[in-house]
Amino acid sequence: MITTEQQQRMVDKVAQIDALAARARILPVITIAREEDILPLADALAAGGLTVLEVTLRSALGLRAIQVLREQRPELLVGAGTVLTREMLAATEQAGSQFTVTPGVTQDMLEAGVESSLPLLPGISSPSELMMGYALGYRRFKLFPAEVSGGVAAIKALGGPFPEVRFCPTGGVGPGNINSYMAQSNVMCVGGSWMLDSKWIENRDWARIQECSAQALALLD
């Protein structure tokens, strides 16, 4: 059970996530391998229209990237992805993250999200996991891995028993199916990394990343 104060806090966090999703539409999922890539990569994405960034903690530079971007690119909205534990959540707060995203859920992680000052977008792949979050006031979830977990058909099916819930499908989303996802009334945005080809980053082909980002958004117009 959560307190009345926590319930109101969760309502406020849902509103924050809705505002984030409306601005993002497409949430690029970024893993930083070289510190010198942090700013030019973010600048390329922003020039292409993607100004809400999920920086994953899959690399040792994740927290550093969040800190650098918050300090030097305050116009961007920067969050932390692949947050697995309370300790990681606390570290993202200290780094300046503005939101957090998990690939899955545990009861402890969901409770930590209720207590956190940051809005948390928990990753789920089943109705049971969704219900764990729902009981604590969560109404916005990442469906991950989206295509493996049933894709558009799953999102349509979940809309029946959970009409208040909206999703950010991530995992297998790309140019070929993005419009099918975004056509669903319970999809608020999508996440992906197809505009971040590892070869482009390795070769510092920032123009290609900018172009692909702009093309991705153009698919939704």
d(CA 133, CA 5) in angstroms, rounded, equals 17
Residue type, 11: V
Find the angle CA(129)-CA(15)-CA(56) to the nearest 5 degrees. Answer: 60
d(CA 149, CA 73) in angstroms, rounded, equals 35
Are 173 and 181 within 8 A, CB to CB?
yes
Pairing of strands 166-169, 140-143: parallel
Angle between helices 107-115 and 86-95 (to 10 degrees): 30
Contact residues for 196 (Cβ-Cβ < 8 A; gap 6+) = 28, 29, 30, 41, 209
156 annotated active-site: no
Q: Which of 36, 54, 111, 202 is catalytic?
A: 54
Q: Which of 71, 75, 111, 142 is catalytic?
A: 142
Angle between helices 127-134 and 107-115 (to 10 degrees): 30
199 annotated active-site: no
- Which residues participate in catalysis according to the annotation? 54, 142
